[in-house]
Amino acid sequence: MPGKDDPARKLIAHVVYSFKAGGLENVIVQLINCLPRERFRHVVIALTEYSEEFSQRVERDDVQFISLHKPPGQIFGMYPRLWRLLRTLRPDVLHTCNLAALEVTPVAWAAGVKRRVHVEHGWVVADPDGSNKRYRLMRRFYRPFVTQFVAVSRQLRDYLCGPIGVAPQRVALVANGVDTQKFRPASSGDSKPADWPFGAGDWIVGTVGRLDPVKNQTLLVDACARLVAEDDDAKRRLRLVIVGEGQEHAGLMQGIDASGMADRTWLPGSRSDIPALLRGMDCFVLPSIAEGTSCTLQEAMASGLRIIATRVGGSADLLGDGRFGVLVESGSVSGLAEALAQSLHAAGDDDIAARAREEAVTQHSLDTMIARYGAIFDPDFESV
């Protein structure tokens, strides 16, 4: 068990609700793969369950994955089991992500975990703007058990320092990072994935994210259907890729069928070849109801794509209020359809995509994120 060997390296216990394909889970994979092996060890604790397939993205062979199979409802009945687990593992750092995992912090305090880092990655559909009173009360209650807060966007930082009442010096702003070598613009030598279903003349609109109400892929389907109905060029060429899996799959499929988009839409599920899929797209759309700092939006920027995103959460900051992509109002089918039409008919204008790529390289590098987290997990990290 990782808590019992090599005490010279700090053990980080990453706690999440579930460890499956998703933005915050991808950040944990990046941290595990990129933080120096000689300084850090890792264990991933999923309160519900972890995906064997997704966990294979972790490149280290010394990481333990634990599923606690939490039943629906409050977590308090699991506190004794969590306390025993943490006493056995003896982590140096507890790293919790979002509200469900925040509830573990009192147990970690009681188990003697000295450094307890909590990261707010974004919102849920039940609380897209942080106004839910119950969630605010819960965060205030657990606030004293956290030694360091991290926010991935300015909106989330302001939320923690404002209504949650966290002192500004206890909140670090650390945007997610993107591997700009892996995520890069397409070149003539690139090949499409073996199951790529589209032709050379097609115009590919795509999105990547879990199929969840907060991601609102239905908005994208409806906007594409409207554009196809109104624009002859879109009717000939537009194709749609929705990458991801989740609870909304059945409902999304019904919407695709009802909109007449079934014969031009591809849902390949959860994939490990996201860089190649992005390089096959012409336009990336993030239609979310709420976001923190979207990893997939950063990946699309690094891939040199034309981008459209709803003006929510940290997306406006990432896109420089429109300098690196087009922002539309959340929930507006007509607004998104109009932005798609403009992108379709400006096929030769790649200046905005080039600027997005440059912004990702200079401002959102993976190395910067890793260095910031390394110093948060171990205050001596920067001096090494």
Indicate whether 214 belongs to any domain: yes
Residue 303 has pLDDT above 50, yes or no: yes
Residue 163 has pLDDT above 70, yes or no: yes
From CA 86, how far away is CA 94, in angstroms rounded? 9
CB 150 within 8 A of CB 372: no
Q: What is the mean pLDDT of residues 121-129?
A: 86
Indicate whether 197 belongs to any domain: no
Q: Looking at the structure, do residues 142 and 9 belong to the same domain, yes or no? A: yes
The count of domains in the chain is: 2
pLDDT tens digits for range 342-353: 999 985 566 899
Domain that holds residue 126: 2-177+365-383
| pTM to 2 decimal places | 0.84
Q: Looking at the structure, do residues 280 and 173 belong to the same domain, yes or no? A: no
Q: What percentage of the chain exceeds 70 in pLDDT?
A: 96
Q: Looking at the structure, do residues 288 and 323 belong to the same domain, yes or no? A: yes
pLDDT tens digits for range 169-179: 999 999 999 99
CATH number at residue 69: 3.40.50.2000
pLDDT tens digits for range 210-229: 999 999 999 999 999 999 99
Q: Looking at the structure, do residues 278 and 351 belong to the same domain, yes or no? A: yes
Spatial CA neighbour of 356 closest among 327, 330, 329, 322: 322
Q: Looking at the structure, do residues 239 and 261 belong to the same domain, yes or no? A: yes
**What pLDDT does residue 348 have?**
56
Q: Looking at the structure, do residues 44 and 82 belong to the same domain, yes or no? A: yes
Residue 304 has pLDDT above 90, yes or no: yes
3-state DSSP call for residue 311?
Answer: coil
Q: Which of 22-26, 43-47, 163-167 has the lowest mean pLDDT?
A: 22-26
Indicate whether 83 belongs to any domain: yes
Q: What is the mean pLDDT of residues 364-384?
A: 87
Q: Looking at the structure, do residues 273 and 244 belong to the same domain, yes or no? A: yes
Q: Looking at the structure, do residues 164 and 231 belong to the same domain, yes or no? A: no
